[in-house]
Amino acid sequence: MRLTAFFQGIFIGTLALCASSVGQTSGTKIVPMDDWIKIEPEDAGISDRKVQHLFDLSFLDPATQAAVLVKNGQIVGERYQKGFHSESFGTSWSMAKSFYAALIGISVDHGEINSLDDLVSDYLSEFSDERGDITIRHLLNMTSGLDFPAHEHELMFLQENHLEYALNVKFEKSPGQVFEYNNVNSMLLSAILFNAAGKPADQLMKERIFSKIGIKNYTLWRDFSGNPLSYCCVDMSARDFSRLGLLFARKGAWGHEKILPSNFVDETFKQIWSNIKSKTINQNRGYGMHWWVSKNDEHSRIFNASGKFGQFVFVDPYNDTVFTRITRYRPTGGAVQNLGTMRFFSWIGDLTLLRKLGERLTSLGLIDFGGDLSTPYTFEDGISKQFFTHYSAIVDAFADL
């Protein structure tokens, strides 16, 4: 009897050790700790054929670097382009908007921000002018009414001080009336969070989210003047982007700990705007609180964070499922944007042309990518084409799991 008890003790201790380093069960839900648990699709109640179909559709596009499928907190499928692996970084581009917006919800929960309906001018004195009626909710729902040029303020990316640029954007129309996907709305969150919480937004991200859900390897970009970029530019692996998706799928809970207030996640996953047309995707989508709605019908509701050139984290909260897809990326190793020689070409004012020019100058050895040029940067081989063409089929395949 004593020997049996001894071996039982060893067995239980081993299970506890494995749980702390691999996964942890909260009720019936597993959360990844230092590493992920990987299981076969059938063990998660999913058809392997359907999983392979989803991955095959995604990899029809050679720009795809990585795709990861998570069900019930466990990886049931992942695939990588040749030359990449599970720790290879991708860059978020505008997916960062969805993640930084979460910090607003946490700040409300901490009492640093009173309400999403607070005036932006309560936190940014610069807005005590004709922009005084704009609320934080207007920023999150992309209805601020701020000036909205054809380039959608993507040219802010070429500035040394992105925040200064954002603070100087003028008033154009009444807030709350029209959806306009304006990068300035998201950049302003960085300043609001700093003035409300007393810490830079990227530090808040590390302390309040990343450290809680096991994200340890990442780059949170700042502009040349030191401002955290809350509208773009988070570098990490597809697996770690999936952790962020899982956090939202679980209504802000990670094991027994509440990271995001559940009422904020509930509000985030309300569709405010519908039938939003896209220049790249052959499907109209919805939007609300810095998240896109890619499918909303009697069969399923799929939400997603979305980034330029084809970065996606799809979340099906009702089925506890997350699908992440990122495109080919070459990290520079930096964390502070320095456009180097490319600053002399910023007068061109066309990001597409500038991107192609930068790639050409890099191939000729005239720009030291990672030295002279330190910035998130997607080369031609990381720009989606087929993925956008098959977008509806991919969303349906994900929903059909």
Q: What is the pLDDT along the chain (401 residues), one digit of tens a residue?
A: 444 444 444 444 443 344 434 455 444 589 998 899 999 999 999 999 999 999 999 999 999 999 999 999 999 999 999 999 999 999 999 999 999 999 999 999 999 999 999 999 999 999 999 999 999 999 999 999 999 998 889 999 999 999 999 999 999 999 999 999 999 999 999 999 999 999 999 999 999 999 999 999 999 999 999 999 999 999 999 999 999 999 999 999 999 999 999 999 999 999 999 888 888 887 889 999 999 999 998 889 999 999 999 999 999 999 999 999 999 999 988 899 998 888 888 788 788 888 888 888 888 888 888 787 899 999 999 999 999 999 999 999 999 99
* pTM, full prediction: 0.92
CA angle in degrees (0–180, nearest 5) for 235-238-241: 70
**340 φ/ψ sector (left φ>0, alpha ψ -120 to 50, else beta):** left
How is residue 257 written in tokens?
């700990």
Query: Which residue matches tokens 């937004």?
Result: 201
341/141 Cα distance (integer angstroms): 36
Q: What is the DSSP letter of 315?
A: E
3-state SS assignment for residue 303: strand
Angle in degrees, CA 353, 359, 365, rounded to 5: 135
User: Is the separation of the CB atoms in 126 and 192 below 8 Å?
Assistant: no
CB 44 within 8 A of CB 76: yes
Instruction: Look up residue 240 and give its two tokens.
Output: 């770690």
Question: Residue 363: what pLDDT?
Answer: 87
Find, among 50, 22, 18, 20, the residue nearest to 35 by Cα. 22
Ramachandran area for residue 382 (φ above 0: left; ψ -120 to 50: alpha; else beta): alpha
